[in-house]
Amino acid sequence: MWIPSHIGIPGNEMADRLANEGVTKPYTEIEINLEISEIYNVIDEFCKNRWQNEWSKHEHEQFLMIEPNVKSVTQYRYASRRMAVTVNRLRFGQCGLNFYLHKMNIHATGLCDICKKPETVTHYITECASEMTRYVTDNCRTRNIQCTIENVLNDRELLRSICSLNKRQL
């Protein structure tokens, strides 16, 4: 059966023209709507980026810079509630160390009883002359981990050791 060509039929001529244009393009220009799960991912990413921008604009005290990126925050499961509380207090810097007690007018100087330097979380874990600090630094050296507050407070094995060696109410 004879079928007329596309010549003279406006819709067919436009289809031919668009088909020829499409063949020459390196990619397809088709708008495809997102699936609902993809929309949630886009929204989550937008919120995290906005949160990160707000976080990065403000100066924070040293202890909060353990997690400089809000997206990378990892949630851990701890062996006990006591361990979870101790680790989180150290990570947030809101704990019973002399430096923080001094801020609340509970400790006279805020200095470490051993070293006579400000007893911050960093000092307590990585700089002090205490037995616990020596254990942490030796453990880092043995495992070829740089002994920084960020590395220590993000290492599950070291955190377990700190909690078991700690004799203070933090």
Same domain, 103 and 139: yes
- In 3D space, the residue among 10, 75, 70, 63 whose CA is nearest the CA of residue 170 turns out to be 63
- 165 has which bridge partners? none
Higher-confidence position of 26 and 121: 121
Same domain, 40 and 97: no
Q: Looking at per-residue confidence, does 47 or 65 come out higher?
A: 47
Distance, in Å, from the CA atom of 119 to the CA atom of 109, rounded to the nearest integer, reads 10
93: in domain: yes
Tokens of 151: 């590395």
**Do 124 and 95 reside in the same domain of the chain?**
yes
The pLDDT, as a whole number, for residue 58 is: 66
Tell me the H-state helices in 3-148.
Answer: 10-24, 36-57, 81-92, 98-103, 121-122, 131-142
pLDDT digit string (tens) for 76-99?
Answer: 677 788 888 888 888 877 889 999
pLDDT for residue 152 is more than 80? yes
Residues above pLDDT 70, as percent of the chain: 84
Range of the domain at 113: 70-165
Query: What's the predicted TM-score (pTM) here?
Result: 0.60
76 with 160, same domain: the answer is: yes
